[in-house]
Every structure is written in structure tokens, then in C-alpha cells.
Amino acid sequence: MVLSISEKVHQDINGIDQGMFIKGTSSDNPLLLFVHGGPGMPMYWMTRRHPIDIYEHFTVVWWEQRGAGLSYDPEIPRETMVASQFVDDTLEVTRSLLGRFDRDKLYLMGHSWGSYIGIQAVAKAPELFHAYVGVGQLTHQIESEHLAYEYALAHFRDSGDKRMLRRLQAAPPSASAPLPSSYMALRDAYMHKAGIGTTRDMGSVITGIFLPSLRFSEYSVMERVNLWRGKLFSRRAAFGLWDNMLMTDLRREVPHVDVPVYFLHGRYDYTCAYPLAKDYFDVLDTPVKGFYTFDSSAHSPIFEEPDRTVAVLRDDVLTGGTSLADQ
């Protein structure tokens, strides 16, 4: 019997209560696990403003990671807020879903920070996955911050925004972690103003992320509050989680993956810099791989160009092909 599914569930994942939304038109469809970015920033709520017609092809699991959103708990041991634990959580969620839905494998999609832990999880246990899809694929984030900074300097110089140019020139990124507080205080503002942030047209985190998330009806009032408590907990209180990510070069750490790999990347993405994703793709050893440039997108092409995303997933990822990939 074909049954649609729409659930908000919690379960124990490696000793921590963790939540997820499970959505699909048929529970018989292939499973797609979405591993969100941040750290600590679930993205399911963005589907209200940026719908994506993916559910007729997949049963999608929007998992909210340890310490984030539905899974926020200030009592989570901070020594567990390390990348290796998030990789293990990803694998445990995967095994739980495979058991529940009686499947051998699923598809994994990682976005931004989620692409950092997602590709590591797939490399560690490829037998659990049909394919890996990296969206806004992270490569070497400290290098990305410098590419973004240089892009923004040129952008604000060309646009005549002398005030932002002066602010940027006074707060450059460093060559190693932690990044200077002066740079971090300006980071979201300059990226979104330059059109290289979450989406190409998002001018402000407040109007583009914060306020819409507080209006998301599938969260309770406390869950909306916890979305932002979890964001702060994950970024600031997680014992170097962000800094360790900044300094990891995945070209060296994960040079080979034993499943098909697909990178979906916005041309204007400098949150995780587009040129670095192309460089990583070129050196990555995998049985099948496809790179897809989204010409009108920044960091969230699945929401900015949803029709093309669905086409790539339907025509290439599900078939194991690369017919729509960049040539």
C-alpha cells in the first residue's frame, strides 16, 4: 500500500534526543536524508518561502542535528560537540531510517556545514548510501573566507559603496582560526549585501532568516526560540567546532568516495566559495561524479532554483547518470 507521510518525530541518537521532519507523497519512494548547515542552522523552515517539489520522488528526512532546532538541549555534553560525533550521528540516523523503512541504502544531501560532515560520513560507510549530493559544498573554509573577502572588496569598490568598503578594509580575515571578531561581526552583513550569502537576493539575515523562521507554523513557540538558542549554542559554545571546520581541507581529508557524488553549487556562492568547490570536484576520486552550476544562485541553489534541482535529482542522481552536469 502506498501511503503519504508527514511526521515530526524524536528519537535517541547516540544518547541524545534528536528531532526530524519526515515528508513524502509515498513511503515507498527512495529515502533522502538532508544534513543541514550552520553549525546549528536547520533549513526545513525555508521550504515554506521556497517550496521545492521533491516529495513525489523521495521521502525526505529533514534531520535537526545535535544541539540544533528540535534537538536543542543546553545539557548536551559540550565535549561531544565535535565533527567526529556529528559524523557518527549522521551514520546512526541513517541506520535507524534504513531499519524503519526496510531499506538497504539511502541518498544523502549535505548543505554547507552539512556537506562537511555529510561527505565524511559517506566516505566512512559507503555501503549505506546510493549517492552523495553536496549543496554549497564546503572545501577549505579558511581559504573560502579569503576568496569571499576579495570578491566583496571588488564588489563594493565597483558599486561605489565606500562605507562598506572601508569597514571591510578595516576588518580582514586572518590566515588561521579563530577568525578576528571584527571580521565575524561584519561577515553576514557583507556577504548578504554583496549577494553571496544564503540566497542571491537575501539582503539581511533579519528579514531573510530570523523573522521568517519565527513565523514557521510547524514549530511550536518554544521550538522557534530553540532554533536560535541552538544556533548560538552550536556556534559559540561547542569547543572549537567552527574553528576546526575552518582549518580542515577536505581535498586532503576526503580525496576518495566510493559512491556517486554530485555537487550543486551557486555561481555566486562565496559562503562556501564556488571556485573551491570546482577545485575539490576536479580532484575527488569517485566512481561517478557530476558538477552542476546554478547561474542565478548563491549558497542555497535547492531553494533558489528548485525546478532545476528537482531535474538533477530525478534525471541524474536517481539514475546514477550525469546527463545534466556541466560539460
DSSP annotation string for 75-95: TS-GGG-SHHHHHHHHHHHHH
Q: Which residues pair with 256 in a beta bridge?
A: 285
Which of 185, 201, 217 marks a domain boundary?
201
Q: So what's the pLDDT on residue 214?
A: 87
pLDDT digits (tens, 9 = 90+) for 101-118: 999 999 999 999 999 999
Q: What is the mean pLDDT of residues 232-246?
A: 79
Shared domain for 120 and 194, answered yes or no, is no
Between CA 83 and CA 89 the distance in angstroms is 10
Task: Give the pLDDT band (50/70/90) at residue 241.
Answer: confident
Q: Is 80 exceeded by the pLDDT of residue 62?
A: yes
Q: Between 38 and 86, where is the model more confident?
A: 86
Q: So what's the pLDDT on residue 238?
A: 55
Residue 327 maps to a domain: no
CATH code, 113: 3.40.50.1820
- The number of domains in the chain is 2
Taking phi over 0 as left and psi of -120 to 50 as alpha, with beta for the rest, 195 belongs to left
Shared domain for 133 and 260, answered yes or no, is yes
Q: Is 60 exceeded by the pLDDT of residue 307?
A: yes
Shared domain for 72 and 115, answered yes or no, is yes
Residue 18 maps to a domain: yes
Between CA 93 and CA 13 the distance in angstroms is 7
pLDDT digits (tens, 9 = 90+) for 17-37: 999 999 999 989 999 999 999
Q: How many other C-beta atoms lie within 10 A of the C-beta of residue 259? A: 21
Q: So what's the pLDDT on residue 234?
A: 85
Shared domain for 17 and 160, answered yes or no, is no
Shared domain for 221 and 301, answered yes or no, is yes
Q: Is 90 exceeded by the pLDDT of residue 155?
A: yes
Type of residue numbered 312: V
Task: Give the pLDDT band (50/70/90) at residue 136.
Answer: very high
Shared domain for 132 and 152, answered yes or no, is no
Half-sphere CA count of 308, side-chain side, radius 13 A: 19
Shared domain for 88 and 103, answered yes or no, is yes
Residue 322 maps to a domain: no
Residue 284 near residue 261, CB atoms below 8 Å: yes
Shared domain for 37 and 122, answered yes or no, is yes
Q: Which residues lie closer than 8 Å to 244 by C-beta, 6 or more apart? A: 82, 83, 177
Residue 324 maps to a domain: no
Q: How many other C-beta atoms lie within 10 A of the C-beta of residue 38? A: 22
Q: So what's the pLDDT on residue 140?
A: 98
Provide the domain limits for residue 118: 5-139+207-317
Q: What is the mean pLDDT of residues 81-106?
A: 97
Task: Give the pLDDT band (50/70/90) at residue 184.
Answer: very high
Shared domain for 113 and 220, answered yes or no, is yes
All cell numbers assigned to 289: 561524479
Percent of residues, the chain, with pLDDT higher than 70: 98
Shared domain for 273 and 148, answered yes or no, is no
Between CA 71 and CA 21 the distance in angstroms is 12
Task: Give the pLDDT band (50/70/90) at residue 239.
Answer: low
Shared domain for 242 and 155, answered yes or no, is no
Q: Which residues lie closer than 8 Å to 101 by C-beta, 6 or more apart? A: 27, 31, 59
Residue 43 maps to a domain: yes
Task: Give the pLDDT band (50/70/90) at residue 203.
Answer: confident
Q: Is 60 exceeded by the pLDDT of residue 1?
A: no
Q: Between 209 and 113, where is the model more confident?
A: 113
